[in-house]
Structure 1
Protein backbone atom coordinates (compact mmCIF):
# COMPACT_ATOMS: atom_id res chain seq x y z
CA UNK A 1 0.00 0.00 0.00
CA UNK A 2 3.06 2.24 -0.30
CA UNK A 3 3.19 5.27 0.09
CA UNK A 4 0.06 5.12 2.29
CA UNK A 5 0.05 3.78 5.83
CA UNK A 6 -2.81 2.23 7.78
CA UNK A 7 -2.41 2.55 11.53
CA UNK A 8 -4.53 1.66 14.53
CA UNK A 9 -4.79 4.88 16.52
CA UNK A 10 -6.74 3.38 19.42
CA UNK A 11 -8.18 -0.11 19.78
CA UNK A 12 -10.66 -0.53 16.93
CA UNK A 13 -10.01 2.91 15.38
CA UNK A 14 -7.89 3.24 12.25
CA UNK A 15 -6.36 5.99 10.12
CA UNK A 16 -5.18 5.80 6.53
CA UNK A 17 -2.39 8.34 6.03
CA UNK A 18 -0.44 9.78 3.14
CA UNK A 19 2.23 12.45 3.54
CA UNK A 20 1.46 14.83 0.69
CA UNK A 21 4.37 15.68 -1.56
CA UNK A 22 6.00 12.26 -1.20
CA UNK A 23 4.53 10.32 -4.11
CA UNK A 24 5.98 9.34 -7.46
CA UNK A 25 3.31 11.40 -9.25
CA UNK A 26 3.71 14.78 -7.50
CA UNK A 27 5.44 16.48 -10.43
CA UNK A 28 2.82 15.16 -12.83
CA UNK A 29 0.00 16.39 -10.58
CA UNK A 30 1.58 19.87 -10.54
CA UNK A 31 2.12 19.75 -14.32
CA UNK A 32 -1.59 19.00 -14.71
CA UNK A 33 -2.46 22.10 -12.70
CA UNK A 34 -3.06 20.72 -9.22
CA UNK A 35 -1.29 20.92 -5.90
CA UNK A 36 -0.59 17.45 -4.47
CA UNK A 37 -1.67 18.40 -0.95
CA UNK A 38 -3.95 16.65 1.52
CA UNK A 39 -7.09 18.15 0.02
CA UNK A 40 -6.12 17.03 -3.48
CA UNK A 41 -5.65 13.48 -2.22
CA UNK A 42 -9.03 13.63 -0.51
CA UNK A 43 -10.43 14.50 -3.93
CA UNK A 44 -8.63 11.52 -5.42
CA UNK A 45 -10.11 9.29 -2.72
CA UNK A 46 -13.64 10.64 -3.18
CA UNK A 47 -13.43 10.27 -6.94
CA UNK A 48 -12.14 6.69 -6.68
CA UNK A 49 -14.91 5.78 -4.25
CA UNK A 50 -17.60 7.34 -6.41
CA UNK A 51 -16.40 5.76 -9.65
CA UNK A 52 -14.65 2.51 -8.75
CA UNK A 53 -15.59 1.49 -5.22
CA UNK A 54 -19.10 2.64 -4.39
CA UNK A 55 -19.26 -0.10 -1.74
CA UNK A 56 -16.85 2.03 0.34
CA UNK A 57 -19.15 5.07 0.41
CA UNK A 58 -19.94 6.15 3.98
CA UNK A 59 -17.67 3.59 5.63
CA UNK A 60 -15.06 6.13 6.82
CA UNK A 61 -14.52 9.88 7.15
CA UNK A 62 -11.93 12.28 5.78
CA UNK A 63 -9.75 14.77 7.66
CA UNK A 64 -7.00 16.05 5.35
CA UNK A 65 -4.61 18.86 6.15
CA UNK A 66 -2.23 20.76 3.89
CA UNK A 67 0.61 18.29 4.22
CA UNK A 68 -1.31 15.08 4.85
CA UNK A 69 -4.24 13.05 3.59
CA UNK A 70 -6.17 11.22 6.30
CA UNK A 71 -9.19 8.95 6.18
CA UNK A 72 -10.32 7.38 9.43
CA UNK A 73 -12.92 5.14 10.97
CA UNK A 74 -13.60 1.79 12.58
CA UNK A 75 -13.81 -0.23 9.36
CA UNK A 76 -10.25 -1.43 8.81
CA UNK A 77 -11.19 -3.40 5.70
CA UNK A 78 -12.74 -0.37 4.00
CA UNK A 79 -9.67 1.76 4.76
CA UNK A 80 -7.38 -1.01 3.50
CA UNK A 81 -9.39 -1.21 0.27
CA UNK A 82 -9.18 2.57 -0.18
CA UNK A 83 -5.44 2.46 0.50
CA UNK A 84 -4.97 -0.24 -2.11
CA UNK A 85 -6.82 1.86 -4.73
CA UNK A 86 -4.97 5.05 -3.86
CA UNK A 87 -1.54 3.42 -3.81
CA UNK A 88 -1.93 2.41 -7.45
CA UNK A 89 -2.70 6.00 -8.44
CA UNK A 90 0.10 7.38 -6.24
CA UNK A 91 2.69 5.22 -8.02
CA UNK A 92 1.48 5.20 -11.63
CA UNK A 93 1.71 8.38 -13.68
CA UNK A 94 -0.49 7.05 -16.48
CA UNK A 95 -3.17 6.05 -13.98
CA UNK A 96 -3.02 9.47 -12.30
CA UNK A 97 -3.19 11.31 -15.62
CA UNK A 98 -6.25 9.28 -16.63
CA UNK A 99 -7.93 9.86 -13.26
CA UNK A 100 -7.42 13.64 -13.42
CA UNK A 101 -8.57 13.88 -17.03
CA UNK A 102 -11.67 11.75 -16.37
CA UNK A 103 -12.52 13.71 -13.21
CA UNK A 104 -12.12 17.09 -14.89
CA UNK A 105 -14.21 15.99 -17.89
CA UNK A 106 -16.96 15.03 -15.41
CA UNK A 107 -16.73 18.45 -13.72
CA UNK A 108 -15.20 17.06 -10.53
CA UNK A 109 -13.40 19.59 -8.30
CA UNK A 110 -10.36 18.29 -6.40
CA UNK A 111 -10.61 21.31 -4.06
CA UNK A 112 -6.83 21.70 -3.93
Structure 2
Protein backbone atom coordinates (compact mmCIF):
# COMPACT_ATOMS: atom_id res chain seq x y z
CA UNK A 1 0.00 0.00 0.00
CA UNK A 2 1.36 3.41 -0.95
CA UNK A 3 1.83 6.13 1.64
CA UNK A 4 -0.92 8.17 -0.06
CA UNK A 5 -3.46 5.47 0.81
CA UNK A 6 -2.13 4.92 4.33
CA UNK A 7 -2.44 8.55 5.37
CA UNK A 8 -5.90 9.49 4.03
CA UNK A 9 -7.50 11.99 4.69
CA UNK A 10 -4.08 13.68 5.04
CA UNK A 11 -2.33 14.66 1.81
CA UNK A 12 1.37 15.05 1.05
CA UNK A 13 2.21 17.85 -1.37
CA UNK A 14 5.60 18.19 -3.05
CA UNK A 15 6.82 21.70 -3.85
CA UNK A 16 9.15 22.85 -6.63
CA UNK A 17 11.59 24.02 -3.97
CA UNK A 18 12.08 20.41 -2.86
CA UNK A 19 10.18 20.85 0.37
CA UNK A 20 7.05 18.89 1.19
CA UNK A 21 3.85 19.69 3.08
CA UNK A 22 1.35 17.56 4.94
CA UNK A 23 -2.16 18.96 4.58
CA UNK A 24 -5.47 18.17 6.26
CA UNK A 25 -8.68 20.04 5.53
CA UNK A 26 -10.25 20.06 8.97
CA UNK A 27 -13.84 19.56 10.01
CA UNK A 28 -14.78 15.92 9.67
CA UNK A 29 -11.80 13.70 10.49
CA UNK A 30 -11.59 12.90 14.21
CA UNK A 31 -13.78 15.88 15.09
CA UNK A 32 -15.16 13.98 18.08
CA UNK A 33 -11.78 14.24 19.80
CA UNK A 34 -11.89 18.02 19.77
CA UNK A 35 -15.50 18.04 20.96
CA UNK A 36 -14.32 16.51 24.25
CA UNK A 37 -12.63 19.82 25.09
CA UNK A 38 -15.03 22.22 23.37
CA UNK A 39 -15.79 23.85 26.74
CA UNK A 40 -12.13 24.95 26.80
CA UNK A 41 -12.42 26.54 23.35
CA UNK A 42 -11.20 23.72 21.10
CA UNK A 43 -13.06 23.65 17.78
CA UNK A 44 -11.09 21.15 15.72
CA UNK A 45 -9.66 23.88 13.50
CA UNK A 46 -6.18 23.89 11.96
CA UNK A 47 -4.66 25.53 15.01
CA UNK A 48 -6.10 22.83 17.28
CA UNK A 49 -4.66 20.17 15.00
CA UNK A 50 -1.34 22.00 15.15
CA UNK A 51 -1.40 21.87 18.95
CA UNK A 52 -2.19 18.16 18.88
CA UNK A 53 0.55 17.48 16.31
CA UNK A 54 3.06 19.45 18.41
CA UNK A 55 2.37 17.25 21.44
CA UNK A 56 2.76 14.15 19.26
CA UNK A 57 6.03 15.41 17.78
CA UNK A 58 7.49 16.38 21.16
CA UNK A 59 6.53 13.16 22.93
CA UNK A 60 6.71 10.51 20.22
CA UNK A 61 9.26 11.78 17.70
CA UNK A 62 11.52 14.30 19.44
CA UNK A 63 14.34 13.42 17.03
CA UNK A 64 12.36 15.22 14.30
CA UNK A 65 11.57 18.45 16.19
CA UNK A 66 14.14 20.50 14.29
CA UNK A 67 12.97 19.17 10.91
CA UNK A 68 9.16 19.39 11.12
CA UNK A 69 7.42 22.77 11.14
CA UNK A 70 3.76 23.74 11.44
CA UNK A 71 1.80 26.44 9.62
CA UNK A 72 -1.89 25.86 10.39
CA UNK A 73 -4.77 28.04 9.25
CA UNK A 74 -8.34 28.14 10.49
CA UNK A 75 -9.63 25.52 8.05
CA UNK A 76 -6.40 23.62 7.39
CA UNK A 77 -3.66 21.84 9.30
CA UNK A 78 -0.25 22.04 7.64
CA UNK A 79 3.12 20.57 8.57
CA UNK A 80 6.11 21.02 6.32
CA UNK A 81 9.76 20.12 5.97
CA UNK A 82 12.70 20.31 3.61
CA UNK A 83 13.43 16.73 4.70
CA UNK A 84 11.03 14.47 2.82
CA UNK A 85 11.98 11.36 4.78
CA UNK A 86 11.42 13.13 8.12
CA UNK A 87 8.00 14.41 7.05
CA UNK A 88 6.94 11.00 5.78
CA UNK A 89 8.05 9.40 9.05
CA UNK A 90 6.14 12.03 11.05
CA UNK A 91 3.08 11.63 8.81
CA UNK A 92 2.88 7.86 9.18
CA UNK A 93 3.42 8.04 12.94
CA UNK A 94 0.89 10.83 13.44
CA UNK A 95 -1.73 9.04 11.32
CA UNK A 96 -1.21 5.83 13.33
CA UNK A 97 -1.61 7.80 16.56
CA UNK A 98 -4.82 9.39 15.24
CA UNK A 99 -6.22 5.94 14.49
CA UNK A 100 -5.46 4.64 18.01
CA UNK A 101 -8.24 6.06 20.21
CA UNK A 102 -6.39 5.73 23.52
CA UNK A 103 -3.20 7.28 22.16
CA UNK A 104 -4.85 10.26 20.49
CA UNK A 105 -7.06 11.05 23.50
CA UNK A 106 -4.01 10.87 25.77
CA UNK A 107 -1.97 13.16 23.52
CA UNK A 108 -4.85 15.59 23.13
CA UNK A 109 -5.20 15.86 26.92
CA UNK A 110 -1.90 17.81 26.85
CA UNK A 111 -2.64 19.98 23.79
CA UNK A 112 -2.77 23.69 24.50
CA UNK A 113 -5.23 26.09 22.96
CA UNK A 114 -3.49 28.31 20.42
TM-score by length of 1: 0.81
CA contact (8 A) 2:68 2:79 kept: yes
**Structure 2: gaps (5+ residues):** 1-6
Residue of structure 2 in register with 1:82 after alignment: 90
**Structure 1: gaps (5+ residues):** none
Q: Larger relative contact order (C-alpha < 8 A, sep ≥ 6)?
A: 1
- Number of aligned residue pairs: 105
Paired residue for 1:13, among 13, 19, 34?
A: 19
Residue of structure 2 in register with 1:93 after alignment: 101
Instruction: Report the CA distance between 1:87 and its aligned residue.
Output: 1.2
CA contact (8 A) 2:55 2:108 kept: no
Write out aligned runs for 1:25-104 (5 A): 25-33=30-38, 34-101=42-109, 103=110
Structure 1 segments, 4+ long, off by >6 Å, are none
**C-alpha distance in 2 between matches for 1:53 and 1:43:** 15
Query: RMSD across aligned C-alpha pairs, in angstroms?
Result: 1.7
Paired residue for 1:109, among 89, 109, 112?
A: 112
**C-alpha distance in 1 between matches for 2:93 and 2:113:** 17
**C-alpha distance in 1 between matches for 2:70 and 2:33:** 24
TM-score by length of 2: 0.80
